[in-house]
Structure 1
Amino acid sequence: MSSPIQRRVGQVFIPVRDMAAAIRWYADLLGLEPGVASHEDTIYDIPTEGETRLALDANRREFDASGPPRFFLWTDDMAATVAHLRGLGVTITSAVEDIGSVFFVQLEDPDGNALMVCQRT
């Protein structure tokens, strides 16, 4: 079976309510200098490595952030990651878990979006 749709993710959008606060929070989380939103302050493209892009999206300020993480970020050092999260006062919602192929920890951003960080084992 074939499809004209490619099996590659282009961009992930994270819904946020307060763009300026979200930019600062994600900049701290990822060790970046805060940037400026575009599209009348409703979209902020987070600098990423690789092909998949990540954007904060304030176009719909009313949303339900419940549910599991919809993507994850990589780390090479889970202990340093957890220490970094704690140092920033981030809400960590799970213990570090080992599922064989990866270790992972789950957390929430200030809007309640579930995020995950994984380390290959």
Structure 2
Amino acid sequence: MVNPILKQVGTIFIPVSNIENARDWYCEILGVKAEGEIQFGHLYVLPMEGTGIVLDSKIYSEDSVFKIPAFHLNTENIQEAFHFMRNKGVELITDIENNHYFNFKDPDGNILMICQC
């Protein structure tokens, strides 16, 4: 029997408390326009390349916030990414580790990672 499950990640859902504020923050950090509509009053699909990210205010609770990074965003220059995020006032929770990655929090307290590919 052929395995019907693909070896692909389709979309990552991030719990957020306020869909409009989260949309604006993530779009600013990613350098993309906030295009498209908020769907069903609680979902926003970020315009990404590759694996998708959906912000979802319906799944948000203090218990649903990412306590450790569930994924990482890529960069080609970890130093530039670190300084960019610091200059944006993002809460950085680690320095650059092993010249390779750092962790930060989004406005809802989700812990995320940026990693040099």
Taking structure 1 as reference, are residues 66 and 10 closer, same or farther at Cα in structure 2, changes over 3 Å only? closer
| Identity percentage of aligned residues | 34
Gaps of 5+ in 2: none
Deviates more, 1:77-86 or 1:63-72: 63-72
Give the superposition deviation at 1:2: 6.3
Gaps of 5+ in 1: none
1:69 aligns with 2:69: yes
Q: Distance in 2 between matches of 1:85 and 1:21?
A: 17
* RMSD, matched Cα: 1.8
Q: Which residue does the alignment assign to 1:110?
A: 107
Q: Distance in 2 between matches of 1:37 and 1:94?
A: 34
Structure 1 runs, 4 residues or longer, greater than 4 Å off: none
TM-score (norm 1): 0.86
TM-score (norm 2): 0.89
1:95 aligns with 2:92: no
Q: Distance in 1 between matches of 2:37 and 2:79?
A: 32
Q: Distance in 2 between matches of 1:39 and 1:66?
A: 22
* Corresponding residue pairs, total: 116
